[in-house]
Structure 1
Amino acid sequence: MSSSSLLIERIGAVISVVLNAPQTRNALSPVMFDELGSVLESAATDGAVAAVVISGNGGFFSAGGDLNQLLANRSLEPSARLARLGKLNRMIQSIQASPVPVIAAVEGGAAGAGMSLALACDMVVASRSAKFVAAYVKAGLTPDGGLTASLAAIAPRQVVFELCALGMPVTAERMQALGAVGQVVEEGQALNAALALGDKFAKAPRRAVGRIKHLSHAACVNSMADQLALEARLMVESQGDDEAGEGIAAFLEKRLPDFERLRS
């Protein structure tokens, strides 16, 4: 399943995707955008997949955009630059639209669009030594890949401005305090911890988890009235789902639910 830019492995019910350009600290490329999008589309239609974990080869998550490519982009017409960014945006949207959880395992660092990618994921595990850097401003650039939206969902405007306008490295502990990072682990353990998280979803009700993911994203932008309406609609769907039948029966019968047999 692997390609030149990604190392892809199925581990039980979890798909491990490793960004594979260690010579550039896994700088992101249009090929990566397309291939990662394809992996997520495949996971969405495979009922046996419970989660996707994204990590980086060589002890570093991603340095973000390739500066040589960004330099070359300066010679393009604005419409061509916009088209290239469309590939990045479609990848970010595919992470958010995926019905399965997508988990980032960050070692070393996540910079620029690499930080955008990590924070677009549903959960983030980071090693204690990892740094997050909104590095765009250092190159005279502005954030992309939804970074400001991801940060605004967890932090006040002043913090979003500080991180993006100064472009200073931020520790995993501070990102955890902000709420962006769920777990901080020892160096070299981020991938194992993320895979363990993914494995927890293997025993969870897949469709219910997908609905919860949808609700979590919508809650950041919806009014209370719209969110109440969405919650009601998804609760109606959930009540009619076989997952609810199994979950409620297991609770009443004082046994563990077997959601795995309902995957399709």
Structure 2
Amino acid sequence: MADAPVLTEVGEGVLTITLNRPDKLNSFNVEMHEHLAAALEKAEQDDAIRAVILTGAGRAFSAGQDLSDRVTPKDGAPPDLTVTIENYYNPLLRRIKALPKPVIAAVNGVAAGAGANIALACDIVLAGESAKFIQAFSKIGLLPDSGGTWTLPRLVGMARAKALALLAEPLPAVQAEEWGMIWKAVPDDDLIPAASKLAHDLARAPTYGLGLIKQAMEAAATNDFDAQLDLERDFQGRAGRSPDYAEGVRAFMEKRAAEFTGKPPAEDKR
């Protein structure tokens, strides 16, 4: 349905998810959260989907939380923001991180507040050159959520992360690329074609191995070096038993393009 808060389209192994409240700059309400959760659940359960694109309709990726849901009368009780975070934002971020398939954010305009941090939680972030990332929380007396206080220092360093959070100044996409916060800034007209090509390339890749890469990179944030070496050993053992590894070796020896299926080893149940 064209008026649904989230649109989905599947083609050639790629699920494209479009946040679709353009009149509200794709800000989140409960209905959008529920539809996005359902789309990501489909991506997880459908083996035919091997890569995901997340983007926004209109002139924004997402302005974050819809503040019209947060207006409090002067004599009324303030909202309990822990409920929204615990029930919606935290599960969303965990779902993106845990999805055993690559997720590409195609940031087509402003990404503010939770919208910025949802984009940055994706595995690869492409942005149109006119896009901007804004940690807008401090403007209304809040702190970054949706993983922002964890993600930002790891991407850009503590000094830049603190300044972005405290000042809430827009960071242009080109500068975000220069800082290493995103993968690439591309001309606006090239954004969706570039994201589509990247997603289709990944959808033809050895999906099971890509999922292990995601898990290993996430684990490295808390593992010490010895624990990470052990994890790499164990994950490599699993990857080495996958049909894609056997196909990759055969294709290399036969000097041809590999035809990966993305299937896990027989004994591995995701």
Q: Provide the TM-score with structure 1 as the length reference.
A: 0.93
In 1: Cα distance, 2:2 partner to 2:44 partner: 18
**Contact 1:89-1:145 within 8 A present in 2 as well:** yes
Q: Which residue of 1 aligns with 2:167?
A: 166
Q: Which residue of 1 aligns with 2:220?
A: 219
**Contact 1:52-1:101 within 8 A present in 2 as well:** yes
Which structure is higher in RCO with an 8 Å CA cutoff and minimum separation 6?
1
Displacement of 1:157 in angstroms is 1.1
**Contact 2:96-2:122 within 8 A present in 1 as well:** yes
Q: Which residue of 2 aligns with 1:121?
A: 122
In 1: Cα distance, 2:205 partner to 2:126 partner: 20
Q: Which residue of 1 aligns with 2:7?
A: 7
Percent identity (aligned): 35
The reply on whether 1:251 has 2:257 as its aligned counterpart is no
Q: Deviations over 1:86-126 (max 9, x none)?
A: 11110011000001111111112100011011101111110
Does the residue aligned with 1:257 lie in a helix, a strand or coil? coil
Task: Report the number of matched residues.
Answer: 262
**Contact 2:155-2:180 within 8 A present in 1 as well:** yes
Q: Which residue of 2 aligns with 1:193?
A: 194
Displacement of 1:174 in angstroms is 1.4
Counterparts in 2 of 1:120-139, with a 5 A limit? 120-139=121-140
- Which AA in structure 2 matches 1:89? N
- Which AA in structure 2 matches 1:14? V
- Which AA in structure 2 matches 1:110? A
Does the residue aligned with 1:189 lie in a helix, a strand or coil? helix
Displacement of 1:75 in angstroms is 3.0
In 2: Cα distance, 1:144 partner to 1:72 partner: 20
Give the aligned CA root-mean-square deviation in angstroms: 2.0
Displacement of 1:220 in angstroms is 2.3
**Ranges in structure 1 where 5+ consecutive residues have no aligned partner:** none
Indicate how the Cα distance of structure 1 residues 152 and 241 shifts in structure 2: closer, same or farther if over 3 A, else same.
same
Does the residue aligned with 1:15 lie in a helix, a strand or coil? strand
Does the residue aligned with 2:156 lie in a helix, a strand or coil? coil
**Contact 2:5-2:19 within 8 A present in 1 as well:** yes
Displacement of 1:139 in angstroms is 1.2
- Which AA in structure 1 matches 2:207? R
**Ranges in structure 2 where 5+ consecutive residues have no aligned partner:** 266-270
In 2: Cα distance, 1:58 partner to 1:77 partner: 30
Q: Deviations over 1:172-194 (max 9, x none)?
A: 11111222211211123322211
Counterparts in 2 of 1:1-264, with a 5 A limit? 4-72=4-72, 75=77, 78=80, 81-86=81-86, 87-260=88-261
Q: Deviations over 1:120-141 (max 9, x none)?
A: 1111110111111001111111
In 2: Cα distance, 1:38 partner to 1:228 partner: 35
Displacement of 1:38 in angstroms is 1.8
Does the residue aligned with 1:158 lie in a helix, a strand or coil? helix
